[in-house]
Structures are given as C-alpha cells and as structure tokens.
C-alpha cells in the first residue's frame, strides 16, 4: 500500500473514470476525479497534487492544453497521459506538452497502477534531492550542504507564499507585506526583491521557475520550502 499520495484523474468516460479512481483508492492513493478540465479550476482549489492522470480527448479544454497549463504552474508535478492517440507524432507532442508517462488505450488498470507507482518513486526520489528548508530563526535557506542567508523581508515573503492559497500572492499583498520594512515599496521594488530572492533559491537547488509572475495578478511560489 502507498501512503498519502494525491492523484487527480481527468477522464470524461464515466465508467472508466469511476473504475480507475476506485482501483487507485484501493491501493491507498487519495483521488479526486473530474470529467473535464474546467472542473479542476472550479473544484480543486488549493489542494496539493502529486500526480495528474489526463485523458486527452476531453470536452472543452483538451488534455494537451491542460497538461501545458499544469506544467507551467506546477513544474514538479507528475503528469500521466492516457489516450487512444497512438501515432508517434501524438506521443512526441504529449511529451513536449508536459507528460512524464504516455500510455495508449486500451490498457488494463494494472498497467495504470504500475505507471503511477513508477512515477511515484521517481517523484519521491526527486523530492528528497530537491527539498529546500527555510529556517526563519536563523534567516537561512538550505538544501543539503548548500545554504544562503536571507534578509528578514525575504523570510517574510517566503512564509507568506507558503501559507497563501495555491502559494499565490497578489502584488498589492506583497506591497502591503513590505510596507513595514520599506515605506516606498512599489511594484518595481517588489520585482527587484523577488529577482534577488529567486537567485538565492536557485543557489539552494530550487527549480528555475521557483517564483513565477502571473500577468495582471501577482506571483506564485512553485518550489515551496519546508519551514522549521
């Protein structure tokens, strides 16, 4: 039995969706099952996800577009595509758009379970390797033997991101957060601060998209440190 792994299944075939979700749950996975991409936006909220299982022929937004969007926002998440599209160019496009695993229907639930398990092992291995730690008391960010010293404001920013829904903060929230430390905080000064913070996170092993800009809204933290 696996433990505490969160899986989101997107499949518009009702019976197949229910059977696959039940099989995954029987193996100990926490599963949320949706019939279309739009349901994810409406119902998933800020719940953490480890693996997405996506059908490609979905009503509305298709699986390729959804995978591309998910990969941009969650670069470390596992994406497993399950589809009837079996041409070499289809598989190439699937991997290009963000798939870690590409499976062609028809296939057994045992094959899906084996693929999910293999992806789980890979993700957990990468998570241990890439895990970064924030120590607010010592103002340090570390990963393995690498460590950098943060400014108090940078610690506050990381903690605020970690606690925010979906780890997103609007620009006005960041300005308000820094007003006590910088009375002249502005959109441009926020960008400068986040650029410096991003460089420090990269030095500790965070992925290049650890802090991403959301046009017209604010920013999202995509590599969340463990706070202790």
The pLDDT tens digits of the residues spanning 95-127 come to 999 899 999 988 888 999 999 988 888 776 655
CB hemisphere CA count around 163 (13 angstroms): 8
CA distance 50 to 68: 16
DSSP state of 217: T
The CATH number for 133-227, chosen from 1.25.40.10, 3.40.50.1370, 1.10.10.10, 3.40.50.170, is 1.10.10.10
pLDDT score for 182:
59
pLDDT score for 10:
94
CA distance 35 to 70: 16
- Edge-to-edge strands, sheet with 133-135: 146-149, 140-143, 133-135, 226-227
Average pLDDT for residues 57-65, to the nearest whole number? 91
pLDDT score for 126:
56
* Main-chain phi, psi angles of 73, to 5 degrees: -85, -35
* Main-chain phi, psi angles of 99, to 5 degrees: -70, 140
Average pLDDT across the chain, whole number: 86
Residue 173: is the preceding peptide bond cis (ω within 30°)? no
User: Could you tell me the residue ranges of all domains in the chain?
Assistant: 6-130, 133-227
Across 87-217, the runs of DSSP E, i.e. the strands, are 101-104, 133-135, 140-143, 146-149, 168-170, 211-214
Contact in structure between 10 and 52 (CB atoms under 8 Å): yes
Give pLDDT tens digits for 1-37: 444 688 999 999 999 999 999 999 998 899 999 999 9
pLDDT score for 40:
86
pLDDT score for 101:
92
Give pLDDT tens digits for 161-209: 988 888 999 999 998 888 765 556 688 889 999 999 999 998 887 877 8
Contact in structure between 160 and 171 (CB atoms under 8 Å): no
pLDDT score for 184:
63
DSSP state of 225: P
The CATH T-level fold of domain 6-130 is: Rossmann fold (3.40.50)
């Amino acid at each position: 039995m696996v433990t505490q792994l969160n899986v989101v299944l997107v499949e518009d075939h009702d019976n197949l969706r229910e059977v696959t979700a039940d099989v995954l749950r029987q193996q100990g996975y926490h599963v949320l099952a949706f019939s279309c991409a739009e349901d994810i936006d409406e119902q998933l909220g800020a719940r953490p996800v480890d693996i997405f299982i996506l059908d490609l022929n979905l009503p509305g937004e298709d699986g390729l577009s959804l995978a591309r969007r998910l990969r941009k926002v969650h670069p470390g998440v596992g994406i497993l595509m399950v589809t009837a599209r079996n041409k070499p160019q289809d598989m190439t496009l699937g991997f290009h758009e963000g798939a870690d695993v590409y499976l062609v229907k028809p296939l057994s639930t045992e094959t899906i379970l084996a693929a999910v398990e293999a992806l789980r092992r890979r993700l957990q291995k990468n998570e241990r390797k890439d895990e970064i730690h924030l120590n607010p008391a010592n103002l340090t960010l570390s990963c393995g033997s690498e460590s950098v010293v943060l400014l108090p404001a940078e610690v506050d920013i990381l903690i605020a991101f970690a606690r925010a829904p979906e780890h997103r903060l609007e620009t006005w929230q960041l300005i308000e957060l820094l007003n006590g430390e910088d009375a002249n905080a502005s959109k441009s000064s926020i960008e400068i601060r986040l650029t410096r913070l991003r460089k420090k996170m990269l030095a500790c092993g965070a992925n290049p998209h650890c802090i991403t800009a959301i046009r017209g809204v604010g920013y999202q933290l995509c590599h969340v440190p463990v706070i202790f």
